[in-house]
Amino acid sequence: MVIVIAVLLVLAFVRSRFQTGSGEKPPQPENTEAALTIKGFSHTAVNEGRTSWVLNAESARLFSARNRAELSDVDVTFFPKDRDRVHLTAQRGVFDTKNRNISISDSVVGRYQGYVLRTESLHYKRDSRIIYTDTHVMVAGDNSRFTADSGKFNIDSNTLTLDGHVRVRMN
């Protein structure tokens, strides 16, 4: 009798494991060429024991053959030595996993020492530690507003250079 009850319990358990319940199929994975897709991507660059910059994204699609990560909802923070942080956000981005360069685009906003920068694309060159744009740029502070066709910011020297049709408005 005990054996019959044990067999019935095992059969009931096995049967319940094979039933789908609702009959719905699980969601299919995203069809992509990416080797890996990550939700909540983060990369921290450390130089001589000190955090140089941190890159975060809502998601990343990694293409290892191309040394590339395509990012969405991007947030980058640079940590200049002995100065305030430089903070950048954008809708999209590309991280070169080999040389560690970053390009961000779509509604780029940068914040540094009370200034706000707006442009459509921005690039970071790791070797020279320069952030630059070749698209229209606007930089605004409490009492001033600068616009130009392009610009670059040297993180180490704390120097902003604007080029092409530079206009300045002081309040």
Annotate 123-145 with DSSP letters as a single string: EEETTTTEEEESS-EEEE-SSEE
**CATH architecture observed for domain 33-170:** Sandwich (2.60)
**Cα–Cα distance, 163 to 168 (Å, whole number):** 12
Q: pLDDT digits over 11-67, tens only?
A: 555 565 555 555 555 554 455 577 889 999 999 999 889 999 999 999 999 998 999
Task: Delimit the domains of the chain by residue range.
Answer: 33-170
User: pTM for this structure?
Assistant: 0.78
- Quick one: how far is CA 166 from the chain centroid? 29
CA-derived radius of gyration, the chain: 25
- Check if the beta carbon of residue 119 is closer than 8 Å to that of residue 108: yes
Q: What confidence tens digit (pLDDT) does each residue in 108-143 have?
A: 999 999 999 999 999 999 999 999 999 999 999 999
What integer best gives the mean pLDDT of the chain?
Answer: 87
Q: Give me 136's structure tokens.
A: 């229209």
